[in-house]
Amino acid sequence: MKFIDIKRKMKSLIFIAAIGGVLTACSFDEQVDPNRPSLEGVLTEASINQLNNLVVGIESSMRNSLAIQTTASGTMARELYLFDADPRNTGDLLGANGATLDNNSFYSTAPWGGRYTAIKNANILLESSANTSAATDAEKAGYRGFAKTAMAFELIEVLKSYDRARIDVADPNNLGPILDFGTALATVRAMLDEAQTDLNSAGGSFPFPLAGFAGFDTPSTFIQFNRAVAAVAALYDGDGNGALSALGSSYFDMMGDLTVGPEHVYSLNSGDFTNGLFKIPDNNGDQIIVHDSWIADAEAGDTRVTTKTSVRSNPTTQDGLSGTNQTALYASNISPIDMLRNEELVLVFAEASILANNLQDAEDALNVIRNSAGLPNYSGLQTADDLTTEMLNQRRYSLWAENHRMFDLRRYNLSSTLPIDRVGDQVFNVSPVPLSEND
């Protein structure tokens, strides 16, 4: 499925939404260009084709700035360095020489903007699907279930990086407040439950196609993704039993294929874009370098070290930092990026089981992850503290460079354990909310 035409239409919609106040103040009769529809033309009596274009626009915008968000948080969490032409990647993000994070720099504005573009598009879909007679009630429920699930997924990504989020953004002229982590997460969880109810009313099929959701592209199978996201949200809320309950209705399978799950997809089609986390091997000008501690701290025989990274022909150095290994996560610049795969859900099950004091279940799940990486069964103490340490270590290696480590350390108050790379460096664990968003 191609993003090109719909992406152009979405850009038109977003642009027109931004200047809508000017347009509505004019006295000219409204003219709707069918190739560049106005926002108003979609919000009332949208066709099925227009609604489906909005769905694709959401999927497309969910990929925006993923690379920046991942490399920024990964740098702050001492997972990696991004060696390129921008000194802020090895300066600001590591707090070099007492530097502070800039709330008007690309690493703060781009991820926030990317997530909220997708959220805005989801809000447009919610309003458009409610105000059309072209869709049946079941079809409208399908649009709502998809939009709310996508919105919740994006808001969780906001919370992971910024520790707070603005939830109410449907009306750009009357934005709601930026909420603290707990309040925002409670709203996200309720949104996911609403989406589940909608999906249960959506009938046997969606009126729209989905890219990257093979096996999860009908209401009944998309619910499994919704419940997987709900399990993550419950876990981040400290609700182990809630996470376990949601996992039971997801595609979590402790003995199954760990790679199963929806993906962000990329292409070389005109108008589309490529996977920004792919780097040409042994390139000197633009490379994701593995933090030496990730290599040094790995257990002997851990196959994730050799499958996720590769040894460079020559060690590389920039700005007083160096590394021997580079990313090998993605085979090409059109390789997909996982949204939420079964491997993460097994780790969610392990953590939720610890929270619920089901310690044997947690150990069994961790052994699945260990064995998949060529490691023997866990041999430590079966206490909540010891299993938590083991769980965080397995997350560190299974989810390397996937925008998890900074948040994992922050939520367990372990950011201070990170190594300092250079004299004068500091540890940051929250991205600053962009200057333009300050209340």
Q: What is the pLDDT of residues 13-63, one digit of tens each?
A: 343 333 232 222 233 333 344 444 567 778 989 999 999 999 999 999 999
Query: Which residue reads 């959506």 in tokens?
Result: 202
Q: What is the dihedral of CA 206, 210, 216, 220, to 10 degrees?
A: -10
Q: Single out the residue of 257, 304, 251, 310 nearest to residue 279, CA to CA.
A: 310
Q: What DSSP designation does 175 have?
A: P
For residue 238, what is the domain's CATH number? 1.25.40
Please tell me the distance from the alpha carbon of residue 328 to that of residue 190, in angstroms, as a whole number.
38
Q: Say what the pLDDT of residue 37 is.
A: 54
Does residue 384 lie within any of the structural domains?
no
pLDDT tens track for 364-376: 999 999 999 999 9
Distance CA 25, CA 372 (A): 62
Residues in the chain predicted with pLDDT less than 50, given as ranges, are 1-36
Quote the tokens at residue 308. 């996720």
Q: What is the pTM for the complete model shown?
A: 0.91
Average pLDDT, the chain: 92
Q: Looking up tokens 């099925």, which residue turns up?
A: 48
Are 118 and 227 in the same domain?
Answer: yes
Q: How far is residue 103 from each of residues 139, 153, 180, 361, 404, measured CA to CA in Å?
A: 41, 23, 18, 42, 21
Q: Which domain does 312 fall in, by range?
A: 287-327
pLDDT tens digits, one per residue of 186-196: 999 999 999 99
Same-domain pairing of 261 and 291: no
**pLDDT at 38 (0 to 100):** 64
**Same structural domain, 251 and 121:** yes
One domain for residues 199 and 311: no
Total tally of structural domains belonging to the chain:
2
Instruction: Please tell me the predicted confidence (pLDDT) of residue 19.
Output: 27
- Give the Cα separation of 51 and 31 in Å (integer): 20
